[in-house]
Amino acid sequence: MTSEFLHLPKIELHLHLDCSLSFDVVRKIKPDTDWETYRRDYVAPSKCTDLADYISRAVSAISLMQTREHLRWVTLDLMEQLREDGAIYAEVRFAPLLHTQQGLAPAEVVQTVEAALAEGMAQTGVEARLILCTLRNFSEAQSMETVRLTEQFAGTLVVGFDIAADEAGFPIDNHISAFAYAREKGIHVTAHAGEAKGPESVWETLQHFHPARIGHGVRSAEDEALLAFLKSEDIHLELCPTSNVQTNVVATIEDHPAEKIWRNGVSMSINTDGRALSDVTLTQEYDTMRRVFGWQKERLLQCNLEALRHAFIPEEVKARLRARLLEGWGGFQE
């Protein structure tokens, strides 16, 4: 049975390009890939050991994304996935330095993905932007190189800077200067935190990186003072429920604290994280939130409106997308 959420307009803020390769695009790049191999190499199991285990499952996909042609195919494929899922706006993130194994310069990588995103927008009607990621395991020099790429591509579809990967395995020290540079240059910032580590990770990320949004941030629910701070400072949490179960942040979906975060008045949205790695769509995430927590259309609309309010795009673009959201969802708000 088709979900009633499928054709409703949606906003997605937390979406990794290299974790979202469909079977079709993998087979296009690597024609001998069968379904069993795809499921083994490009889709994470429903329960990984931890975040590091989950992230390791992206290695196969990254290895396929090393030429201009393949980067273009993967980007166009993701845009089509978004169209099929009813998305009207998405912020797609990736780490350019991971795609230089066959000789592309980092700037060439960004230029290629940015051009493909523009092409995909024209083909699908889905509005989209790019966020460039540094990684926890990167050096200070690599983080600085990534944030300078974000600055270099200002005025294009590149709109923000992020830090991703295993927060439990690597401290923040190498990245403080890059985020200070972003703040100095007025670059929009989000940051992964409160996923593999507890609320202390969110606190230090807020203190040193000053992001407007937190990627995941799910373990903020363990600290009432942190929830109050997030609300007072209007810090948006990009929640990814299915991914949080896979990475063992929570044992089961029933244990997910999305309801507590909502009740505490923290701005939040529902996202997929990696559409292939987590084997999920926004439509399926919404169905899960309704089935498990009883969330109805009014609340999910509000999550979309909050996502849009915290998107890294100009107000005139937000106004146009907001009108589409309200029209599509029936115009009601909580």
Task: Count Cα atoms within 13 angstroms, Cβ side, for 128.
Answer: 32
Catalytic center residues = 195
Q: In terms of DSSP H, where are the helices of the chain?
A: 23-29, 35-42, 51-56, 59-64, 68-84, 106-124, 140-152, 176-185, 199-209, 224-232, 241-246, 258-263, 282-293, 297-309, 315-329
- Count the Cβ atoms, other than its own, within 10 Å of residue 122: 10
Closest CA relative to residue 131, chosen from 215, 242, 209, 204: 215
Sequential pLDDT tens for the chain (334 residues): 689 999 999 999 999 999 999 999 999 999 999 999 999 999 999 998 888 888 888 999 999 999 999 999 999 999 999 999 999 999 999 999 999 999 999 999 999 999 999 999 999 999 999 999 999 999 999 999 999 999 999 999 999 999 998 887 898 999 999 999 999 999 999 999 999 899 999 999 999 999 999 999 999 999 999 999 999 999 999 999 999 999 999 999 999 999 999 999 999 999 999 999 999 999 999 999 999 999 999 999 999 999 999 999 999 999 999 999 999 998 655 4
Q: How far is CA 269 from the centre of its chain?
A: 11
- Count the Cβ atoms, other than its own, within 10 Å of residue 93: 24
Q: What is the DSSP string of 148-199?
A: HHHHHTTTTTEEEEEEES-TTTS-SGGGHHHHHHHHHHT-EEEEEESSSS-H
Closest CA relative to residue 150, chosen from 201, 200, 93: 93
Closest CA relative to residue 113, chosen from 99, 134, 127: 99
Give the model's pLDDT for residue 53: 85
d(CA 278, CA 247): 10
Give the model's pLDDT for residue 334: 44
Q: Which amino acid is at 16?
A: H
Give the model's pLDDT for residue 331: 60
Q: How far is CA 130 from the centre of its chain?
A: 10
Give the model's pLDDT for residue 268: 98
d(CA 110, CA 174): 22
In residues, how long is the chain? Answer: 334
| Architecture field, domain 10-329 | Alpha-Beta Barrel (3.20)
Give the model's pLDDT for residue 37: 96
Give the model's pLDDT for residue 168: 78
Rounded alpha-carbon distances, angstroms, from residue 177 to 136, 170, 191, 213: 13, 16, 14, 19
* Domain extents in the chain: 10-329
d(CA 117, CA 318): 19
Task: Count Cα atoms within 13 angstroms, Cβ side, for 244.
Answer: 29
